[in-house]
């Protein structure tokens, strides 16, 4: 996907519609800096905005993603190409997220252990000892919360009974047993509780 090409295309279509960046931004409820970034190819519009944006510009989402008008005969091949490309990007994004989860989980645990170790074995005034233990606890809890949050939103859990894919609630994430990323949770569709595996959004 060529961000710069898309940006130029957005700018062209906007001008054809006689809109300023400010006006387009207001129609979409975003800042005009966001619009300016799209048009300079620094950023892609958020996926949730793409449909609305293409409507306003009088083009299809596919044309938006291609950065050009598409002839009817090219339409389906181009649409498919873009879809595959988007899925690949999404998969890479999820992989990065899950790696980040490990990094955050690991580093906050190590920090916790080191701080607790120092607080237990080194000679120091009581209030510093207490402060160290509190800091360790906060780092650990915040680290765990971030890791859980990432795990919840990256990809889906697949129900082992009915194969339904879903994102669990934060509460389910907090209070469920898990082995690695396989969790013992209730499926919102078939209501059965079982060990559900983590899966990516798209097959590779």
Which parts of this chain interact with Zn ion (CB under 5 A)? 159, 161-162, 164, 187, 189-190
Minimal distance, residue 160 CB to Zn ion, in Å: 8
Nearer to Zn ion, 105 or 168 (CB): 168
d(CA 65, CA 78): 10
One DSSP character per residue, 24-74 reads HHHHHTS-HHHHHHHHTTS-PPPHHHHHHHHHHHTS-HHHHHHTS---GGG
Nearer to Zn ion, 12 or 158 (CB): 158
Query: Which residues, in sequence order, are bridge partners of residue 93?
Result: none
Minimal distance, residue 187 CB to Zn ion, in Å: 3
Minimal distance, residue 48 CB to Zn ion, in Å: 27
Minimal distance, residue 91 CB to Zn ion, in Å: 24
To which residue do tokens 């899966």 refer?
Answer: 199
d(CA 95, CA 4): 26
Q: 41 to each of 2, 68, 81, 108, how far by Cα in Å? A: 8, 14, 20, 36
Using the CB atoms, write b or e for 67-87: b if 16+ within 10 Å.
bbebeeeeeeebbeebeeeee
Nearer to Zn ion, 78 or 198 (CB): 198
Nearer to Zn ion, 40 or 189 (CB): 189
Nearer to Zn ion, 112 or 157 (CB): 157
Minimal distance, residue 173 CB to Zn ion, in Å: 17
Minimal distance, residue 98 CB to Zn ion, in Å: 23
Nearer to Zn ion, 138 or 162 (CB): 162
Query: Which residues, in sequence order, are bridge partners of residue 197?
Result: 158
């Amino acid at each position: 996907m060529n961000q710069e090409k898309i940006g130029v295309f957005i700018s062209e279509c906007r001008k054809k519609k006689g809109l300023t960046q400010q006006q387009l931004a207001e129609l979409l409820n975003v800042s005009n800096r966001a619009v300016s970034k799209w048009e300079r190819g620094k950023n892609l519009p958020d996926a949730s905005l793409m449909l609305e944006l293409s409507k306003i510009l009088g083009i299809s989402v596919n044309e938006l993603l291609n950065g050009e008008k598409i002839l009817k005969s090219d339409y389906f091949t181009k649409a498919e190409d873009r879809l595959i490309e988007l899925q690949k990007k999404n998969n890479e994004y999820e992989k990065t997220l899950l790696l980040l989860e490990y990094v955050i989980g690991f580093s906050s645990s190590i920090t916790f252990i080191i701080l607790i170790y120092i607080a237990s074995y080194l000679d120091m005034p009581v209030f510093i000892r207490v402060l160290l233990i509190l800091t360790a606890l906060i780092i650990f809890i915040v680290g765990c919360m971030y890791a859980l949050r990432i795990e919840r939103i990256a990809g889906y859990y697949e129900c082992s009974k009915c194969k339904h894919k879903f994102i669990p609630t934060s509460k389910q994430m907090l209070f469920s047993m898990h082995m690695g990323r396989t969790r013992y949770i209730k499926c919102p569709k078939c209501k059965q509780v079982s060990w559900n595996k983590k899966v990516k959004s798209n097959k590779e």
